[in-house]
Amino acid sequence: MICRTVMAFPYLEAVVGFMIFMYIFETYLDLRQHAALKLPSLPPSLRGVVSQEKFEKARAYSLDKSRFHFVHAFVTIVEESAILLLKVLPWLWLETGGVVEKLGLNPKNEIIYTLVFLAFTTLWTQVTELPFSLYSTFVIEARHGFNKQTVWLFFRDMFMGLGLMVLLGPPILSAIIIIVQKGGPYLAIYLWAFMLVLSLVMMAAYPVLIAPLFNKFTPLPDGELREKIEKLSSSLKFPLKKLFVIDGSTRSSHSNAYMYGFYNSKRIVLYDTLIQQCKNEEEVVAVIAHELGHWKLSHTTYSFIAMQVLTLLQFGGYMLVRNSKDLFQSFGFSTQPVLIGLILFQHTIMPLHHLASFGLNLVSRAFEFQADAFARKLGYAVPLRAGLIKLQEENLSAMNTDPWYSAYHYSHPPLVERLEALDKSDKKKQ
């Protein structure tokens, strides 16, 4: 009789190997983009459209961010690889047991044990990321005139975020652990249903309860801009209930606009910087027309459904490996706690995650072109074009982009492509 030893799949080595492979691949794309950013002149289609002064400023800003990204990415891959290869997580999990006992808590209670472990990992993440956040905000963003917040406000936001995590994290994590422990054969459906309800609650609560903790929302004053936005919304039967201006300028001079709300209760939020940067009300309204295009064409709904399908598939995959001793042992764990299982599963499906992200970016770019076309059909082609150029200039966005880098990373098409699409549509119309 011949005995054959079946070798366990080397999950740890495969995960670290893939992480390093993706780091090398993405670094290659970063190098291509860095070379594009160093080009000394504007793309032909932007010459005479974007000022040389703005181009030089955008080029310097983009190159600063690119150099910073190289350092950050290298430190991150070294740190993450070391944590996995040196099996820091299983060591920390075991050490957590002693801390739980010293606190007079029950180490056999997985929820308590997990929350203490999560507190350590969260603290570690905050400490290791803090220098990068500080440098990005108070050196790079400040150097190029974007940062408007004080050190006090920076740390206030950070501790406010940690406070919300302490408030919301334990009940959410506890619910997930209980569902996994008692879910049985329908675990994937139960987890998906819980996350669906949670996402809906957060979508409703965040702009009303959480966002105001960080920014001040004030009604857009009566005037021509408000009248034009309300008229546009009414013509499209958009159920606009409130129109706000947010004080984004207290933290940054970057600009934006967004909408939120359910069914017949929608809100539109304009950054004060957007209003300041656009030349006239028509440009702001054109940007809103683009956003309303996303709503009218159901882009938000499609994206939400896609995310729900992906979430359900992920939980289905998690069910297949959550009891795999080989998976846990490969990473150095002798037990199979719920949180660790979820973390390890996310590591093992990284290839699928990258593919899904790439696919979603492709869809997102298509949606952006469609929303631009929608605004053009409403008669906002000229102000939208002017608004896009103005926002590109004021935000010092990259003017030259590498096509490979853009295709892989960008969820929004570069300005050159958006202007070309608008120009082609105008030519066809003529």
Which residues are designated catalytic? Answer: 291, 372
Report in angstroms the alpha-carbon separations of 236 from 259, 351, 427.
15, 41, 26
Sign of the dihedral through C-alpha 136, 140, 142, 147: negative
Virtual torsion, Cα 135, 249, 143, 54, nearest 10 deg: 130
- CB burial readout 116-155, b (16+ within 10 A) else e: bbbbebeeeeeeeeeeeeeebbeebbeebebbbbeeeebe
Task: For residue 11, give both structure tokens.
Answer: 């999950």
Find out whether 96 and 119 touch, Cβ atoms under 8 Å: no
Find out whether 400 and 50 touch, Cβ atoms under 8 Å: no
Task: For residue 216, give both structure tokens.
Answer: 């001040």
Query: E strands, 189-254, where?
Result: 217-219, 240-246
Q: At what angle do helices 338-348 and 11-37 cross, to 10 degrees?
A: 50
Closest C-alpha among 239, 247, 242 to residue 212: 247
Task: For residue 355, give both structure tokens.
Answer: 């593919």
Q: At what angle do helices 52-85 and 11-37 cross, to 10 degrees?
A: 170
